[in-house]
Amino acid sequence: MRILLSVCLAAVLGGCSISQLPNWLSPHAIDIQQGNAITQDQVDKLRPGMTRQQVQAIVGTPLLKDMFHANRWDYTYQHYHKHQLIGNAHLTLYFKGDVLERIEGQALPDNKKREDTNTPQS
């Protein structure tokens, strides 16, 4: 009885280290893409002096519109594949009134957006 209990306890505790299982035995993990996937091609179309409406037509609605910083739009993007971060970008647009003043941060490479949409789900 003690041997059986020891074997069961070892099996249960061994299940706690799922990250060390071989790929064919690991649980299914879906790709998770969060935020705005803004490419460099889209950023290249932005010009200082554009209105908020023109900017939104090019890059879409920002992920964050902070009511305390109304002249700042933040576009954040993260892509996880099997719980590993494989893509990350953050772009901040600053406005003066209704006009785009400056752009800071980085966008995804142009081919990254195409790769993300074609990443096989395993």
The yes-or-no verdict on residue 117 having pLDDT over 80 is no
Taking the CA atoms of 3, 9, 12 and 16 in sequence, report the sign of the dihedral they define.
negative
pLDDT, tens digit, 9 for 90 and up, residues 24-66? 666 777 888 888 888 899 999 999 999 999 999 999 998 777 8
The CATH T-level fold of domain 30-117 is Beta-lactamase Inhibitory Protein; Chain:B, domain 1 (3.30.1450)
- At residue 63, the pLDDT reads 77
47 is written with which tokens?
Answer: 């010009």
Question: What is the spatial distance between Cα 45 and Cα 59, in angstroms, rounded to a whole number?
Answer: 9
Domain ranges for the chain: 30-117
Q: Which helix (H) or strand (E) holds 34?
A: strand 32-35
